[in-house]
Structure 1
Amino acid sequence: MLGDYEKFKKDVFALTKIDLNAYKEKQMRRRIDTLIGKNKITSYTDYVALIKKDKEKFEQFVNFLTINVSEFYRNPDQWKILDTEVFPALIKKFGKNIKIWSAACSTGDEPYSLVMALSKHLPLSNIKVIATDIDKQVLDTARMGLYNEKSIASVPEDLKKKYFTKVGASYQISDEIKKRVEFKEHNLLKDPYPSGCHLIVCRNVVIYFTEEAKDKIYENFYQSLAQGGVLFIGSTEQIMNYKELGFIRNKSFFFEKA
């Protein structure tokens, strides 16, 4: 045993503003204990002391806490609905300057996918995506825009040819796509949410939170959307109480603010 986990959670919150109470405890504690073991540390107290004084270990810890499994056009069938139904409806409703927020954007695959998908409907100069994540390290990776072959496997061939350049075994996304995304640090559990969004995309992230934290996040997304705006969630997620929150379910993973 590594000691008092309750105290550890408080210490982590004081250091990082990440509230471990919002995560499913068994799963999260197991992951943290594994990381602490890898660092040859035998107690939570010693580990807190380590991440306080060692910047690299601190970044490693935050990076380890955040779940970064990402790829371009993840679940292509859902992106097809976005392309053929959701984008045209939003443009008809809100015009050409659509405010899009990619929440918990990880390594940038999702916001860059959004820009490419929307470029079939609007000129790039009209497109702006706000992309946020709690993890500085993944945001740096996102800004770099360099991906492996597996990450971009689902990108439509025409867009792959147009917007990616092969660099060794990797693929670099073009600057014209990069320019359309603004990356910012953001904690879904404590920071203010953007307002007046026409589309919020937050996929396969909320599954890691407790039911209370999920409800709070979905309530905040609802407030964050403009009337008639759409929330796009992941294929591993469900919003059981979407009616109580005020959403209309358009398709399996698309919810409109009524």
Structure 2
Amino acid sequence: MIPSFFIAHGAPLLAIEDNEYTQFLTSLGRTLPRPKAIVLFSAHWVSGVQNVSKVDEYETIYDFGGFPDALYQIKYPAKGNEKISNEIEELFTKNGISYEVETSRGLDHGAWVVLRKLYPDADIPVISMSVNPNLTPEDQYKIGKSLSVLSENDILVIGSGGTVHNLRAVNFGKDNGQSDDWALDFDEWLAQHLENWDVESLFNYESLAPTAKLAVPPYGNEHFVPFFYAMGVADNKRNATLLHRSYRYGNLSHSVWQFG
């Protein structure tokens, strides 16, 4: 069995940077049991209905602008796996979850930045998944829960986003590793309730968590919701471990949570 993970993908520059966080991700990829495949929910693929990719080989999407040319030269030519895509469809049907199949979309940077650090050879099949920020956290969790059997079959499920992701609040001139108090307060609240698997409080984070509106602004909540998809996968284990937490630009969080 392989745990599920929530992994922050930070800014696109992580793809070409060598720092504490990128070194951690590289180490994580080397220490995890090698998965049969990777199912990844990306904050940068938003849809009103759950999408499941069924792609032979992915193109690399550069869904950002104004960065160094080196970023646009990166390729991550991961392949899909039709059999596992079909299995996901069956699980969704069994659990009453509406879905659509996507046969052409490539991997956005929420996917390939993380995957390239974990598995640089792009030699593990990937099934890319969308997220829906308009669903309740309970429903996002339910979608993840419906895929619990994948972890039991050595398939790695990742939610890629950020626990604190407010681009209007970041300070690009502040890159000394220090964190704004409000960002740390939110992450500490999250950790407290995660370690107790207190889903009732977590599902109501918007009204209960300190500084939730700053940490997870309504215009950017798509970066937080992959958390609930990844968490739901481990509903049968119900334990959470914080593996890494650091910050860039004052409050952009680099958190990695292991579930299960």
Q: Computing the radius of gyration over CA atoms, which structure comes out larger, 1 or 2?
A: 1
TM-score by length of 2: 0.34
Higher helix share: 1
- The two structures have a TM-score, normalised by structure 1, of 0.34
Higher RCO structure (Cα 8 Å, ≥6 apart)? 2
